[in-house]
Structure 1
């Protein structure tokens, strides 16, 4: 089941996965899914241990298992060899351990966090809260910074910042719906976080990546092919 996040007074509609909105401070594509009835997974490398690099390579690989990729987005930061920077779990197997160290760049603009999937549910938690929860996710990817932490914007974000970039992120609303968002132009971290908190009603939201933000959303005719990518988050359906 695919759900569109509605923004009209009176609640949500349910006629498509993705929609475009352009509120003050940005222009965005938002794709929303119910993890209770949708298969959301993380991917990085194929059966040979080679990074997928592109949405097409992943989609082609899934066909061998009679599965169809109906949505995908780049799913977190990565090293030069396209391996994940932080925690990465696939089919319950931890492929890369969680990172708690400080450092340079957006990933280390603490607090950072984890997007995870457990049976019938998905979540976003700040890294320390994720560790304390003792979760054993089926799928997980760590990135940073957190955009919204328990309803509060990341403390380092400035409403008048001159750092404007294309960005993508993920948040979970109070009904448990997962919202993936890609900006269609450069935006501030502050405005991006406000979108998740105030328009999408997400108490917790996580930044996934910046200028390389890419989207595969065939229902709106979008298939970005510009950049090789590391981790990928995909929504997959089993063919009958």
Structure 2
């Protein structure tokens, strides 16, 4: 808004934000969801800088791109003690680790798990065996697990009264891949509640769990920049 010499105020249009984030109360829990137009925004995965040092935090990620604005960021999957990605990780066309399709310990091994695949024009969540079969041409990709929603159905192992509750985060994608919705719970929830939020409220046909307990969100439009653990893979939008 500006004031003219005549004393009148004129409202000037501001550029639309690359990401829309909102706090949502659903089924007795609190969530924050950030919606990205994957067909037009610069949505990327980030792990290491040019010197091959793990970036690790939202502040350091923003510093890596001084000529751009970090509009949104979130931790993007599980990582080892050295913060190397668990499972498939592909960034800017370079694969840093391979896909894992065997079951195993922990949430990652709670099959089916899945892969988030980014191109210059869309974002899709694939179940891992489906990803191997289809071999999509991803620019960036990250494997995590378990899947939260698979073709409209909750992961078969989720229990409504499951006692394991954490702050959790993940991503769901629209059927056409044009929209990616990233969500984090603001209170501890079980897998069933988190998956149901994606399936029934966000209505994403496929959704993938990123992590729990270390879950973090950077959403400047909400005045939010979570801190805590040093992170491994991150996902964000630059504008």
Distance 1:2 1:113, change over 3 A: farther
Q: How does 1:1-240 map to 2 (within 5 A)?
A: 2=17, 17-63=20-66, 66-174=67-175, 176-237=178-239
8 Å Cα contact 1:113-1:142 kept in structure 2: yes
Q: Give 1:78 shift.
A: 0.1
| Divergent runs of 4+, >6 A | none
Query: Hey, what's the Cα distance between the residues in 1 that align with 2:174 and 2:123?
Result: 10
Q: Give 1:119 shift.
A: 2.4
What root-mean-square deviation, in Å, do the aligned CA atoms of Structure 1 and Structure 2 show? 1.2
Distance 1:2 1:117, change over 3 A: farther
Structure 1 gaps of 5+ residues are 4-15
Which protein shows a greater Rg? 2
Q: Give 1:169 shift.
A: 0.5
**Secondary structure at 1:114's aligned position in 2?**
strand
The two structures have a TM-score, normalised by structure 2, of 0.90
Q: Give 1:171 shift.
A: 0.1
Q: Deviations over 1:101-139 (max 9, x none)?
A: 221000111000001111211000100011111112001
Query: Hey, what's the Cα distance between the residues in 1 that align with 2:45 and 2:65?
Result: 13
Higher mean C-alpha deviation, range 92-101 or range 108-117: 92-101
Q: Give 1:146 shift.
A: 0.2
8 Å Cα contact 1:25-1:191 kept in structure 2: no
Q: Deviations over 1:64-120 (max 9, x none)?
A: xx2221100000000000010111111111111111122100011100000111121
Structure 2 gaps of 5+ residues are 1-15
The two structures have a TM-score, normalised by structure 1, of 0.90
Query: Hey, what's the Cα distance between the residues in 2 that align with 1:39 and 1:116?
Result: 14
8 Å Cα contact 1:148-1:197 kept in structure 2: yes
Q: Give 1:2 shift.
A: 4.8
